[in-house]
Structure 1
Amino acid sequence: MNTVVVTGGTGYVGRHAVEELHARGVAVVAVDIVSPQERGFSFSPGIDFRRCDLRIPAETRAALRGADAILHLGADIGSLTYMHEHQADILTNNAAIDAALYPAAKEQGIPWIIYSSSSMVFQHPPQFPYREEDIARIHPPTNVYGFAKLIGEYFCRAYAAEHGLSYTILRYHNIYGPGENSKGATPGDIHVIPALIQKVLNGQYPLELLGNPEATRSFTYIDDAINFTADIVLRALKKDESVRNQDFNIGNDTFITILELALMIWKECGDGRPFRYKEVGTKSDTALRREVDITKIKKLGWRQNISLQEGLASVVSWMRAHQEKSI
């Protein structure tokens, strides 16, 4: 049985990836600095957890032992407020994580890393919708998290060129779904969908929209993203040349403005009053447009199984139940 180490394994995307790979018959080791219990959940029986600070090389070497591949989701990321106020921490910590992980993988002969990048690397794309090959023509992102993720992509390519390490880069676009925490460094500003839903459920009126309401985004339901991620990991374990040293933009080719999203959420869970909003400025340095071409992943079988409308209804239902339980 193949063994996959999932870094960031108790995070939102990580814990879903761990469970999906386990369900598909892979031996999975979840690695994180925070335990499942500290995050309020437990893994299914048979899933191994190793606590590790990935910035520390000795801990990283121990955590990766026995792996046939690494799904590298671990990163220092936070809310819009966090990204603005902790720019040095984000750069330092993410660089330290990669600087410990890639040498450890090389030393232990782990042949393949599936690296979680981000749509934020495309802060300044040369065209819309942007394609994978446009990464060679972008201006580096000024958002520090996007820049840190771009550095991670360079780690992949550098270790492939010098040491023969195989990689696959996955650039996730605005993953959302039930179970995501709506609170960041300040309440309700970590990810836009749970943040807006929480504001509506709390009775905020008019609804406050951070940043430019005309900004466009491509949203990806968690189950769709995880199914495709697991497909990629299994291809990597089989040494599939179609994903070796390749990068993939994971998202949907239906784009929506933040204002349109807010209106959809208001219709789903608002209190019946006419929709009203007000703009609230943010110091965060983010892209105005995120519009992605997904031709490449469609060739590998990508399908959007959950529409945005269905996904929002699912998140609203979960958050209402969660809110009721917390009263």
Structure 2
Amino acid sequence: MVSGSAGFIGGYVVEELLRRGYSVVGIDNYSKYGPVTKSYDNHPDYHFVEGDARDVELMTKLLSDCDHFIAGAALIGGISYFHAYAYDLLATNERIMASQCDAAIAAHQNGKLQKVTYLSSSMVFESTEHWPSKEGDERKIPPPLSSYGFQKLAVEYFAKAAWDQYKLPYTIIRPFNCVGIGEGRALGDVEIASGNVKLAMSHVVPDLVQKVVKGQDPLHILGEGNQIRHYTYGGDLAKGIVECMAQPAAFNDDFNISTPVSTSVRELAEVIWRKIKGDAPLTLVSDEAFEYDVQRRVPDVTKAKEVLGFECTTSLDTMLDEVIPWVTEAVADGRL
């Protein structure tokens, strides 16, 4: 079972599970994008339920017939989202997580459920002052300052507490800056002006692409553009999530899932500009940065490689060759 199955990451995960021959139950309440269609909607091994992950009775019923649960449902967005919905991110996501755990505990005790695979976030490392961030650092550094990062750290405490008290097995996954297609303008978006383009609460890659596609010149970036990120392809992330779910070696453990390659926002802007504009001169303008725009988010991915034999290998260049045409079409259709 995958909660948040109609979401950005959830779509990649369901696709990967079906590709590997799993039967999948997906649940989503369409709260972020509204009703969406996926390529696998009519797949014979996919059963979709429109429902709320906070419905403990429904979740318990669905989970009782499942071996594994990938808990991905959450309010999630880009950097502006952290500020616009600081309370909702904390309160709603805590309710979602508590309900999912309640249902999973019951399904583990009385049904077939073997383990829960929890999606945390690289934002648990928000307050670090040393890099790369490796598994275990989240317990040694100061807690995240943003309510989103703090709540994702709480997800990890839920996972461990459910094991401590109820022996519900877990694996914790921390994705870093997922990049791919299928990310749209969310319902309830607060539009942020960035030069002559209004941004939705999305992420830096699609936002930069849409700016260039819409003809913004000079190109606006947040802050000085020295922020370091590890852009990870959605397909790679989904493979890593399924490996963490399926491998016995991941039992009651946690993993950073990301590419090992660092890229600054300035470097990202340059690559996107060249792919769309060729040799046209690039001029960057710095907009005021958001408070929680972490300057360096760099993972140690050694553990996933050594324990699971898993690596994210898709290059930024290859990701952009998929994302740029998708965003270009979405802009033309008025979806972005």
Does TM, scored on the shorter chain, surpass 0.5?
yes
Distance 1:212 1:247 in 2: 33
Per the alignment, residue 24 of structure 1 pairs with 20
Indicate the SS of the match to 1:108: helix
Distance 2:291 2:68 in 1: 35
Distance 2:177 2:326 in 1: 18
Per the alignment, residue 72 of structure 1 pairs with 71
Distance 2:151 2:2 in 1: 19
1:132-162 per-position Cα deviation (integer Å, ceiling 9, x unaligned): 0212202110111111110000000001111
The AA in structure 1 aligned to 2:153 is L
1:279-326 per-position Cα deviation (integer Å, ceiling 9, x unaligned): 111434131101111111112222333211121122112223444455
Pick aligned residue for 1:41 from 27, 38, 56: 38
Distance 1:174 1:8 in 2: 18
Distance 2:286 2:217 in 1: 12
1:220-239 correspondence runs (5 A): 220-235=232-247
Residues 311-320 or 87-96, more deviating = 311-320
The AA in structure 2 aligned to 1:320 is T
1:188-217 per-position Cα deviation (integer Å, ceiling 9, x unaligned): 441110110000000011111123411110
Residues 112-121 or 14-23, more deviating = 14-23
Distance 1:27 1:41 in 2: 16
Distance 2:230 2:143 in 1: 21
Per the alignment, residue 143 of structure 1 pairs with 146
Aligned residues: 318
Distance 1:91 1:114 in 2: 20
1:110-130 per-position Cα deviation (integer Å, ceiling 9, x unaligned): 331100010011001252111
Please state if 1:265 is matched with 2:272.
yes
1:93-116 per-position Cα deviation (integer Å, ceiling 9, x unaligned): 010011111111111213311000
1:7-38 per-position Cα deviation (integer Å, ceiling 9, x unaligned): 10110110121121122111100011119981
Do the aligned partners of 1:126 and 1:134 also contact (CA within 8 Å) in 2? no
Per the alignment, residue 168 of structure 1 pairs with 171
TM-score, structure 1 normalization:
0.91
Aligned-pair CA distance for 1:81 = 2.6
Pick aligned residue for 2:8 from 9, 12, 19: 12
The list of structure 1 runs, each at least 4 consecutive aligned residues, that deviate by more than 4 angstroms after superposition, is 324-327
Indicate the SS of the match to 1:248: strand
1:25-174 correspondence runs (5 A): 25-34=21-30, 38-42=35-39, 43-46=41-44, 47-109=46-108, 110-174=113-177
Distance 1:32 1:169 in 2: 21
Do the aligned partners of 2:176 and 2:231 also contact (CA within 8 Å) in 1? yes
Q: Cα 1:38–1:284, aligned 2, differ >3 Å: closer, same or farther? A: farther
Per the alignment, residue 180 of structure 1 pairs with 183
Pick aligned residue for 1:291 from 293, 298, 317: 298
1:35-63 per-position Cα deviation (integer Å, ceiling 9, x unaligned): 99812335242210112212232333234
Do the aligned partners of 1:30 and 1:48 also contact (CA within 8 Å) in 2? yes
1:179-258 correspondence runs (5 A): 179-181=182-184, 184-186=189-191, 187-235=199-247, 240=248, 242-258=249-265
Do the aligned partners of 1:123 and 1:286 also contact (CA within 8 Å) in 2? no
Distance 1:93 1:259 in 2: 34
Per the alignment, residue 324 of structure 2 pairs with 316
The AA in structure 2 aligned to 1:28 is V
Question: RMSD across aligned C-alpha pairs, in angstroms?
Answer: 2.1
Do the aligned partners of 2:81 and 2:201 also contact (CA within 8 Å) in 1? no
1:219-253 per-position Cα deviation (integer Å, ceiling 9, x unaligned): 10111111122222222xxxx1x111110001122
Do the aligned partners of 2:79 and 2:293 also contact (CA within 8 Å) in 1? no
Distance 1:156 1:81 in 2: 28
* Unaligned ranges ≥5, structure 2: 192-198
Distance 2:59 2:136 in 1: 32
Aligned-pair CA distance for 1:182 = 6.0
Do the aligned partners of 2:230 and 2:298 also contact (CA within 8 Å) in 1? yes
Indicate the SS of the match to 1:273: coil
